[in-house]
Structure 1
Amino acid sequence: MFNPTGTVLLTGGTIGLGYGCALKLAQQCPQYQVLIASRSNKDNAAVSINEITGHSNVEYLKLDLSSLAKVRSFAADYAKKGYPPIKALVLNAGLQILDLGYTEDKIESTFAINHVGHALLFYLMRPFFAEEARVVIVASGTHDPAQKSGLPDAIYSSAEELAQPTRETEKYQGRQRYATSKLCNVMWTYALQRRLEKAPGKKWTVNAFNPGLMPGTGLTRDYSAIVQFISNHILPRTIWLLRLLISPNVHLPEDSGASLARLAVGDDLKGVSGKYYEGQNPIPSSKDSEVVEKQEDLWEWTVKRIAKDESERREFESV
């Protein structure tokens, strides 16, 4: 009978980077319950991983990050299931949406899924954290104009403008909104770290992670069939060439997944917090990501927008 000693909760673990991370976690930590939380389970990722490892420690849970109500419903259901304390919360799910759209909460879709839904999930999962727990947030090198990723530069004026684009900013490309959402991931990491430093008795850490360019992850699912075919079937066979022509930070999803798993459970990173990792190593993030005023604008807007009342707002703000 499987009696797990801890839980790792991973969003978006059914394909690509998340699947690679979940597989590595299941292999390295058979004593942990590994929960894959995703909107879709068409690939039966948990079943696949359990078959590969010969363990039974991976389970799928349905989670729709585009809806604040559904995130709350997920947390309510989670509370009834009696999982062991969360050792690591890996906020990995993300979408690159080409066309401007809004969620049922009237928040721009890319910002809602890549940041807002994850932030609410963190706040609601805190009661289930172990005494020592890690939060890992999957960001991207696209947040940093200095890395010349090929995407439009991330632009952060305010969280409100990202949630409700103005007549001018609604003209931005979907790829630009994606890059900016990844900037938000890094800024929110730093804002959370400041609060954890001041939180008495909490041995929690938070780090951001740049997995690099990963052909074949499914991130291009909103693109044309031709672009998806090239990304999923051609580019993964030319990693060596992409590293030569574009950047050394090009990896297969399973390789970046292993680096992400290390941040979540690796013994060598115990106590490390407030860092931005590229693969295996901490590096400086973008200049914009380090602007405290922007970090605080994002934090304060997020808490105010997702808290259901004043009591919950104070609770979320205190970490």
Structure 2
Amino acid sequence: MLFFVVLSSLGFLAFYLSRSSKEMPKNWQQLRSEILWQYLGVRGLIEDYYLRKYNRVDLFKQPGRVAVITGGNRGIGADVVEKLLQCEINVIMGVRNPKEAQKNIELRVDFSELDGVKIYYEYLDTGNLKSVRQFAKSVQQKFNKIDILINNAGIMASPYYLTEDGFESQFAVNYLGHFLLTHLLLPQLKAAGTQDLNSRVVNVSSCANILGEINMNDINGTKDYYPPNAYNQSKLAQVLFTRHLQLLINQDEDLHLQVHAVHPGVVDTDLFVHSSTTYVPWFKKLLFKNTEEGSRTIVYAAISPKIEGKGGSYLSNCVRVPVNPLAKDKVLREKFFDFTCKLLDISFFPK
């Protein structure tokens, strides 16, 4: 009896300290979501362990190419930027705090060893559609061609709030803003792609997409909001977007572009700020990937010759892995794509 009590207490403590959100589940559906989230987290850690030998990316010089990345002033994004600069790729960073981003990158990178590589720090809030449009305009004024777009910025399991545009924050920041940015920069991506070398879009998703469901009748989750469910939806949305956009690209012989969705792994970053794992920081440092390891698959998707011409894939640890079965539903993908275009008042995509 004592053993059962001790075991139960340890199980509850583990549940309490590793919750996806600091909010406790309020009903059975939310509790079920939390249990599935924790199961997925454990599975993700196991996957990262067994696939770690594949989690490698070869860096090589690519002078003259241009990459745009959202986020990147810290965490995984900063390591991605550092790797791109090592490849002598010019980088435009879209971040909420350009001065902080500049300070962080200059502490990491010795620009005296880079031959003519340029980096730009621009303000961007992907949760604000006006900001996305202003950022895209600034990028277009600087470059006629963009070789790589990395949609990296994101938030996870945040408390409920609506953006100025009236959208649930995770849906807006993780997905909607990136959808709009990709649309706006598509002419520059199209101009950069050639028959020998595609331009690329990388959507930084998550293994949480596997638990995601798309509720177009209540996309903001107003009826029963639970932070991880909204996150799961936003990450599935990125995968659906990836798959459908690649289908549209394949129908245009003049569009030399490929799109990938990426799960960087279970990584120790500030993304977990709303998670109860912040109560036990040693837990993340002991079991999670570090940010450099988490950056590898993103950079692999952006530059690796091994996947040239193989767009539409979902990658983890630099290999293709199974995706949410919903992502294979062509009808759902097209319906959700059209739904998103209506939300953003986009009449034609690609253009």
Matched, 1:156 2:204: no
Contact 1:13 1:45 in 2 (8 A): no
Cα contact 1:10–1:91 (8 A) shared by 2: yes
Range with bigger deviation, 187-196 or 93-102 = 93-102
TM-score by length of 2: 0.74
| Alpha-carbon distance in 1 for matches of 2:200, 2:307 | 10
Cα distance between partner residues in 1 of 2:168 and 2:108:
34
Partner residue, 2:203: 137
Change in Cα spacing, 1:71 to 1:183, as seen in structure 2 (3 Å) is same
- The 1-side partners of 2:66 and 2:122 are apart by 13
Paired position in structure 1 for 2:50: none
Kindly provide the CA deviation profile for residues 230-261 of structure 1, in whole angstroms up to 9, marking residues without a partner as x. 34xx235313xxxxxxxxxx522101212211
Pick aligned residue for 1:18 from 63, 66, 77: 77
Partners of 2:289 and 2:144 in 1: CA distance = 33
Among 265, 278, 286, the alignment partner of 1:238 is 286
Specify the alignment match of 1:244 in structure 2. none
Aligned-partner residue type, residue 258 of structure 1: R
After superposing the two structures, state which structure 1 stretch, 134-143 or 283-292, moved more.
283-292
Amino acid at match of 1:68: L
1:92 aligns with 2:152: yes
RMSD: 2.1
Contact 2:71/2:77 (<8 A) preserved: yes
After superposition, the Cα gap between the structure-2 partners of 1:53 and 1:45, relative to the gap in structure 1 and judged at 3 Å, is: farther
| Counterpart for residue 110 of structure 2 | 51
- Tell me how far 1:283 sits from its aligned partner: 1.2
Match of 1:295 in 2: 333
**CA–CA distance in 1 between the matches of 2:241 and 2:111?**
35
Query: 1:84 Cα deviation (Å)?
Result: 5.7
Q: Is the 8 A contact 2:297 2:317 kept in 1?
A: yes
Matches of 2:279 and 2:222 in 1, distance apart? Answer: 34
Q: Amino acid of the residue matched to residue 178 of structure 2?
A: H
Corresponding residue for 1:33?
A: 90
Q: State, as a whole percentage, how many aligned pairs show the same letter.
A: 26
Residue 172 of structure 1 corresponds to which residue in structure 2?
225
AA matched with 2:120: E
Q: TM-score, normalised by structure 1?
A: 0.81
Higher CA-based Rg: 2
Gaps of 5+ in 2: 1-61
Task: Identify the match of residue 242 of structure 2 among 157, 178, 189.
Answer: 189
User: What is the CA-CA distance between 1:229 and the residue it aligns to?
Assistant: 6.0
Native 8 Å contact 1:26 1:53 kept in 2: no
SS at match of 1:201: coil
Letter in 2 for 1:161: D
SS in 1 for 2:178: helix
Deviations 1:138-190 (A, max 9, x none): 1111111xxxxxxxx322232x521x3343xxx23111110111111111111
Q: Which ranges in structure 1 are unaligned for 5 or more consecutive residues?
A: 145-152, 240-249
CA gap 1:92/1:53 in 2 versus in 1, 3 angstroms: farther
Q: 2:21 matched to which residue of 1?
A: none
Aligned to 1:313: 347
Whole-angstrom distance in 1 between the partners of 2:222 and 2:127: 21
The residue matched to 1:196 in structure 2 has which SS?
helix
Residue 69 of structure 1 aligns with an amino acid whose one-letter code is K
Instruction: Give 2:36's aligned residue.
Output: none
- How many residue pairs get aligned? The number is 280
Asked if 1:210 corresponds to 2:263, the answer is yes
Residue 273 (structure 2) aligned to one of 221, 225, 236 = 221
The verdict on how the C-alpha distance between 1:258 and 1:318 changes in structure 2, with shifts beyond 3 A counting, is closer
C-alpha deviation, 1:223, in angstroms: 4.7
CA distance in 2, matches of 1:19, 1:230: 24
Give the superposition deviation at 1:58. Answer: 2.9
Among candidates 69, 74, 87, match of residue 135 of structure 2: 74
In structure 2, the partner of 1:198 is 251
More displaced stretch, 205-214 vs 254-263: 254-263
Residue 187 to residue 53, structure 1, CA distance change in 2 (3 Å):
farther
- CA shift for structure 1 position 291: 1.8
Q: CA deviation at 1:298?
A: 1.7
